[in-house]
Each structure stands twice: as structure tokens, then as C-alpha cells.
């Protein structure tokens, strides 16, 4: 075989590179694929930037002085109710709690939240201490509410405790509902 016939038809003629080795080869399909890849990268970058900006705004909102003040009042409210409960019911006594909460929607279940962490709660109100949140006279008690305890023998007593005056002022300043 002569050297000119060696690999005839398989090798490109001298000076001609195959299309795959040239820059920009592949035609319109490859260009469209590259454009889609760039578009995806840009979209992901924009989404990540938006997430960062949104996250910073949420964090700033959550840490705002108004929200922090609400949390402080809320924590003291629950501490007040907890203090009334612990002063009136022994730990371990089985109690029943009312879901009704003055000045709050039914679904708050405020008293259950305070009681369940301290003593067992039952769904049957017969023969156990029953606990209610009642409106406190003149806005006293825990932001206008106090614990009403109905003992198994039928006697009624009330919890003692209050939210400090500075918190009541903060409560009113935050635009909270008026106390009775």
C-alpha cells in the first residue's frame, strides 16, 4: 500500500480539521443549549439574591422593637398565669381546663398551654379541679384576666398575681385591646 492510500476515506485531507475540533462548532443546537444554560445560571443567581434580601427583611421585621415588646408582654402574661396556677393547684393534681379565654379567640387555648406543662389535664370535668380564665375586675390580674378555680367540693377561688405596671403601659402603647 502506498502511503497516500493508507487509511483512505478515514482521515481528513491535510489542512482540513474535522468540525468537532473547531471553536464554535455544533451549529444552532449547541448555541441554543449554551443560551439555556446561561439563562438557568442567571435565574438561579437572581433567585438566590432575592432569597437573601427577603431573609434580611424578615429578620429585621422579627427583631423590630414592636415585636420584641409584644414578646416580652406575652412572656410575662404567661408567667403571671403560671404563677396564679402554681399558687392555687398542687403539681400532680388532675385538672380540667376551659378553652374560653377572655379577650382572645377560642383557638388560643391559653389556659391549657399554661396548665399542661405543670399538672395532668383531663377531658372529663367531673370530680376534678376545674380551671377557667375569667375577666379580672379593673384590669387587674394578668392583663385583665385571672384564674378561676372551681374545686371538686364546689368552692370557688381565684388566682393571685399580676403583670407589672410597666408592662401594662407597654401593652396599651402597642395598641392592644383595652382591659376592662
Q: For residue range 131-161, list pLDDT tens digits in order.
A: 998 888 876 788 778 899 999 999 998 888 7
Q: Is 149 exposed, middle or buried (0-12, 13-18, 19+ CB in 10 A)?
A: buried
How many residues are there in the chain?
180
The structural domains of the chain, with segments of one domain joined by +, span 26-62, 65-173
Whole-model pTM over 0.85: no
Residue 9 has pLDDT above 80, yes or no: no
Distance of alpha carbon 122 from alpha carbon 170, whole angstroms: 36
DSSP annotation string for 163-178: --HHHHHHHHHTTPPP
Q: Is 113 exposed, middle or buried (0-12, 13-18, 19+ CB in 10 A)?
A: middle
Q: Exposure string (b/e) for 68-100, b if CB count within 10 Å is 16 or more?
A: eeeeebeebbeebbbbbbeebbeeeeebbbbee
Asked if 30 and 19 touch (Cβ cutoff 8 Å), the reply is: no
In this prediction, residue 31 carries a pLDDT of 86
- Where is pLDDT greater, at 4 or 131? 131
Amino acid at each position: 500500500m502506498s502511503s497516500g492510500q493508507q487509511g483512505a476515506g478515514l482521515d481528513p485531507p491535510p489542512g482540513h480539521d474535522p468540525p468537532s475540533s473547531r471553536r464554535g462548532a455544533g451549529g444552532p443546537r449547541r448555541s441554543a443549549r449554551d443560551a439555556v444554560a446561561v439563562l438557568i445560571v442567571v435565574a438561579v443567581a437572581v433567585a438566590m439574591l432575592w432569597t437573601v434580601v427577603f431573609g434580611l427583611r424578615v429578620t429585621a421585621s422579627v427583631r423590630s422593637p414592636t415585636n420584641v415588646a409584644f414578646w416580652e408582654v406575652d412572656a410575662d402574661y404567661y408567667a403571671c398565669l403560671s404563677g396564679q396556677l402554681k399558687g392555687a393547684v398542687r403539681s400532680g393534681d388532675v385538672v380540667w381546663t376551659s378553652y374560653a379565654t377572655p379577650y382572645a379567640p377560642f383557638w388560643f387555648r391559653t389556659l391549657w398551654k399554661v396548665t399542661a406543662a405543670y399538672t395532668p389535664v383531663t377531658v372529663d370535668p367531673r370530680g376534678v379541679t376545674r380551671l377557667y380564665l375569667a375577666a379580672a375586675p379593673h384590669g387587674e390580674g394578668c392583663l385583665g384576666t385571672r384564674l378561676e378555680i372551681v374545686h371538686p367540693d364546689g368552692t370557688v377561688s381565684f388566682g393571685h398575681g399580676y403583670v407589672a405596671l410597666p408592662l401594662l403601659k407597654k401593652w396599651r402603647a402597642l395598641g392592644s385591646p383595652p382591659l376592662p
